[in-house]
A and B are shown apart, each in its own frame.
Chain A
Amino acid sequence: MMTARTKQTGGDLFAALSEVDTDAQARLHERLALAADEAGILDVAYRTVDSPVGALLLAATERGLVRVAYAREDHDAVLDQLATRVSPRVLRAPARLDTAARELDEYFAGRRDAFDLPLDLQLAHGFRRTVLTYLPGIGYGTTASYAAVAAAAGSPRAMRAVGTACATNPLPVVVPCHRVTRSDGTLGQYVGGADAKRALQTLEAAA
Chain B
Amino acid sequence: MRRQPFEAVVAEHGPTVLRVCRAVLGPAAAEDAWSETFLAAMQAYPGLPPDSNVEAWLVTIAHRKAIDQVRAGSRRAVPTDELPEAPSTDGLPGGGDADLWAALKALPLKQRQAVAYHHLAGLPYAEVAGVLGGSPEAARRAAADGIAALRKRYTTTGAAR
Interface residues of A (CB under 8 A from B): 7, 9-17, 19-21, 23-25, 27-29, 31-32, 35-36, 39, 41, 44, 46, 79-80, 82-84, 87-92
Chain A CB within 8 A of B22 CB: yes
The listed residue with most A CB atoms (<10 A of its CB), out of B2, B22, B39, B161, is B39
Q: Within the complex, what minimum Cβ distance (angstroms) separates A117 from chain B?
A: 22
The prevalent SS among residues of B at the interface is helix
Chain A CB within 8 A of B92 CB: yes
6 tightest CB-CB pairs across the interface, nearest first? A90-B5, A10-B147, A88-B3, A83-B5, A23-B91, A20-B15
Give the size range of B's interface with the partner.
Answer: 35 or more
Chain A CB within 8 A of B6 CB: yes
A10 contacts B115, C-beta separation under 8 Å = yes
- Chain B residues within 8 Å of A24, by CB: 18, 31, 90-91
Known contacts A28-B14, A88-B46; is-contact A16 B93 (Cβ 8 Å): yes
Residues B105-161 near A (CB distance < 8 A): 115, 119-120, 147, 150-151, 154, 160-161
Chain A CB within 8 A of B68 CB: no
- Chain A residues within 8 Å of B96, by CB: 16
What are 15 sample pairs from A and B whose C-beta atoms fall under 8 A apart?
A12-B160, A13-B154, A14-B100, A14-B120, A16-B94, A17-B19, A21-B91, A28-B14, A28-B31, A32-B39, A32-B42, A35-B35, A80-B2, A80-B5, A83-B5
B39 contacts A12, C-beta separation under 8 Å = no
- Chain B residues within 8 Å of A44, by CB: 5
A25 contacts B14, C-beta separation under 8 Å = yes
Q: Within the complex, what minimum Cβ distance (angstroms) separates A122 from chain B?
A: 16
- Chain A residues within 8 Å of B91, by CB: 21, 23-24
Assuming A21-B92, A28-B35, A29-B10, what are 17 further A-B pairs, CB within 8 angstroms? A10-B151, A13-B150, A16-B92, A24-B18, A25-B14, A25-B15, A28-B14, A28-B38, A31-B31, A41-B42, A79-B5, A80-B5, A82-B5, A84-B3, A88-B46, A90-B5, A92-B7
Chain A CB within 8 A of B52 CB: no
Fill in one digit per residue for B7-28: 1 if any A CB lies within 8 Å of its CB, else 0: 1101000110011001100000
CA distance A9 to B10 in the complex (A): 26
CA distance A7 to B151 in the complex (A): 9
A16 contacts B100, C-beta separation under 8 Å = yes
Partner of A13, one of B10, B39, B90, B147: B147
Q: Within the complex, what minimum Cβ distance (angstroms) separates A93 from chain B?
A: 9
